[in-house]
Structure 1
Amino acid sequence: MPVEADVIAPSTQDKYLFGKLAEAALMLYARSLCTSYTIMGKGRKAIIGNADNFWLHSSKENSFDLTHPQSPSSEAISPRLDLMTSTTPITLDPQKTALVIIDMQNFFLSEAFGRTKGAGHDAVKNLEQHAIPAARKAGVQVIWLNWGLTDKDLDLMPPAIKRAFGFEVVLDNEDEEVETDTAEGDIFREHGAADDPKVNPQDTVVLENGKDKRIYKGLGSWCGNLELPDGTTVDGGRLLMRDAWNSALYPPLDTLYEEGIGCWINKDRMSEKGIRSLLFAGVNTDQCVSGTLTDAFSKGYDCVMLKDACGTTSPSFSQQCIEFNAAKSWGFVATCADFARGVENMASQ
Structure 2
Amino acid sequence: MNGNALGSTPKNAWHVTPTLVDMIRAPLVSHPVTLSSRGRQVRFDLQRSALVVVDMQNDFCHAEGWLAHIGVDVMPARAPIAPLQQLLPKLRAEDIPIIWLNWGNRPDKLNLSPALLHVYNPHGDDIGLGGALPISGAPVLQAGSWSAAVVDELTPAPQDICIDKYRMSGFQDTVLDSVLRNLGISTILFAGVNIDQCVLCTLQEANFRGYDCLLLEECSATTSPSYCLDATLYNVQQCFGFVVSSVELSHKL
TM over 0.5: yes
1:125 matched to 2:108? The reply is no
CA contact (8 A) 2:54 2:100 kept: yes
Runs of 4+ in structure 1 displaced over 4 angstroms?
Answer: none
By how many angstroms is 1:338 displaced? 1.5
SS of the residue aligned with 1:164? helix
- Stretches of structure 2 lacking an aligned partner (at least 5 in a row): 1-27, 166-173
The Cα offsets for residues 167-220 of structure 1, whole Å up to 9 and x where unpaired, read as: 564xxxxxxxxxxxxxxxxxxxxxxxxxxxxxxxxxx33xxxxxxxxxxx1211
The equivalent position to 1:141 in structure 2, one of 97, 107, 125, is 97
Say whether 1:266 aligns with 2:176.
no
* Secondary structure of 1:160's aligned partner: helix
Aligned equivalent of 2:241: 331
Which residue number corresponds to residue 286 of structure 1? Answer: 196
RMSD of aligned alpha carbons: 2.1
SS for the counterpart of 1:300 is coil
Distance (Å, rounded) in 2 between the aligned partners of 1:269 and 1:78: 26
Q: 2-side partners of 1:325 and 1:133: how far apart?
A: 30
Query: C-alpha deviations, 1:1-48, integer Å up to 9, x for none?
Result: xxxxxxxxxxxxxxxxxxxxxxxxxxxxxxxxxxxxxxxxxxxxxxxx
Which residue is 1:66 aligned to? none
Shift of residue 236, structure 1, vs aligned partner = 3.8
**2:33 paired residue among 55, 77, 81:** 81
8 Å Cα contact 2:53-2:192 kept in structure 1: yes
- Residue 134 of structure 1 deviates from its aligned partner by 2.7
CA contact (8 A) 2:53 2:191 kept: yes
Q: Give 1:292's aligned amino acid.
A: T
- For the residue of structure 1 that corresponds to 2:147, the secondary structure is helix
Partner Cα separation in structure 2 for residue 260 and residue 88 of structure 1? 36
TM-score (norm 2): 0.76
* Alignment pair present for 1:305 and 2:219: no
Alignment of 1:220 with 2:130, yes or no, is yes
Evaluate the alpha carbon distance shift between residue 339 and residue 220 of structure 1 in structure 2; reply closer, same or farther with a 3 A threshold.
same
Q: Which segment drifts farther, 301-310 or 79-88? A: 79-88
Question: 2:160, 2:202 → 1: CA distance?
Answer: 18
CA distance in 2, matches of 1:261, 1:81: 23
Name the larger-Rg structure: 1
User: Aligned in 2, Cα 1:236/1:306: closer, same or farther, shift over 3 Å?
Assistant: farther
Q: Partner letter of residue 294 of structure 1? A: Q
Q: Offset of 1:265 from its aligned partner?
A: 0.7
1:299-346 residue CA offsets vs partner (Å, 9 max, x unmatched): 110000011111111110101111111112111001110211232xxx
Q: 1:136: how far off?
A: 1.5
CA distance in 2, matches of 1:139, 1:90: 21
**Matched residue, 1:237:** 138
SS at match of 1:245: coil
The residue type paired with residue 279 of structure 1 is L
TM-score (norm 1): 0.56
Report the count of equivalent residues: 210
What is the alpha-carbon distance in structure 2 between the residues aligned to residue 93 and residue 312 of structure 1?
A: 28
Q: Residues 86 and 262 from structure 1, CA distance in 2 versus in 1: closer, same or farther, beyond 3 angstroms?
A: farther
CA distance in 2, matches of 1:342, 1:88: 17
Instruction: Tell me the distance in 2 between the aligned counterparts of 1:85 and 1:261.
Output: 30
Give the residue type in structure 2 aligned to 1:239.
V
| Superposition pairs of residues 1-349 of structure 1, within 5 angstroms | 78-113=30-65, 114=68, 116=73, 118-129=75-86, 131-151=87-107, 154-166=109-121, 169=124, 204-205=125-126, 217-224=127-134, 226=135, 235-254=136-155, 257=156, 259-267=157-165, 268-270=174-176, 271=178, 272-273=181-182, 274-343=184-253
Structure 1 gaps of 5+ residues are 1-75, 170-203, 206-216, 227-234, 344-349
The one-letter code of the counterpart of 1:311 is: A
Deviations 1:80-138 (A, max 9, x none): 22222224222222221010000000000111133645332111111112x21231132
Mapped contact 1:281–1:305 kept (Cα < 8 A): yes
Shift of 1:160: 2.9
Residue type of the partner of 1:269? V
Contact 1:94 1:139 survives alignment (8 Å): no
User: Aligned with 2:252: secondary structure?
Assistant: helix
The CA distance in 2 between the partners of 1:148 and 1:163, in whole Å, is 17
